[in-house]
Structure 1
Amino acid sequence: MMGGGQNAVLAQLLAQAEGQAADLIALRAIVEEAGTLGATRALARLGLEDAQASKDMAELRELLAAWREAKKSLWKAVLGWIAKTALVLMLAGLAVKLRLWELLK
């Protein structure tokens, strides 16, 4: 899951801070190591700690972008069909109103 090295570094920094008045540099180092350790644990819990994870995330982002583009294209097509259908119905109504079918006889 994660190396014991990060735990050891954090433990060493905490012991160093306890032994003396913790200065700003030591506190920043502790916070940074704790953040790195927490991020590593979170990624491990999600199954994203291996080298393949960045490739997997890139593929997921591409898939999500393609899905969003497909949704956008679908909506454009649906709205286009609705507009065309409304236009055809208006033209048919106009033809009935002007009695244009009589010219075809």
Structure 2
Amino acid sequence: MSDSAVLAQLLRQGEEAGADLTTLRAIVEEAGELGARRALAKLGLDDGAAPKDMAELRELLGAWRDAKKSAVRAALGWLAHLALAGLLVGLAVKLGFSGWVK
């Protein structure tokens, strides 16, 4: 059962027990907001600098992802160059190029 289904069932039970549905929804909304505030406070994101901090973190994460992509591309490029160099050396040995150098 999903979280929203459990919440809907609890609201129905509260309404059947005599509570006003509007009051129950208000309680749920306040509880959700309080939980979100507590979670943000635990993460240290409950002050006025939080939006700037989050923007900086997103920027840093984007830069990290770009650097990672760049490093992978460079490594693949080096591997391709090494494979081609090995192929050329193999062809040179196979064709007797070492005899031409002497």
TM above 0.5: yes
Aligned length: 86
What residue number does 1:45 align with? 42
Query: 2:35 matched to 1:33?
Result: no
Cα distance in 2 for residues equivalent to 1:45 and 1:83: 48
TM-score normalised according to structure 2 size: 0.77
TM-score normalised according to structure 1 size: 0.75
- CA deviations 1:58-102 (Å, max 9, x no partner) are 110110111011111101101110110111011011111101233
Cα RMSD, aligned residues only: 1.6
Which consecutive residues of structure 2, in runs of 5 or more, have no partner in the other structure? Answer: 1-13
Cα distance in 2 for residues equivalent to 1:94 and 1:25: 82
Which consecutive residues of structure 1, in runs of 5 or more, have no partner in the other structure? Answer: 1-16
Runs of 4+ in 1 over 4 A off after TM superposition: none
Comparing both chains, which one has the higher relative contact order based on Cα–Cα distances under 8 Å and sequence gaps of 6 or more?
1
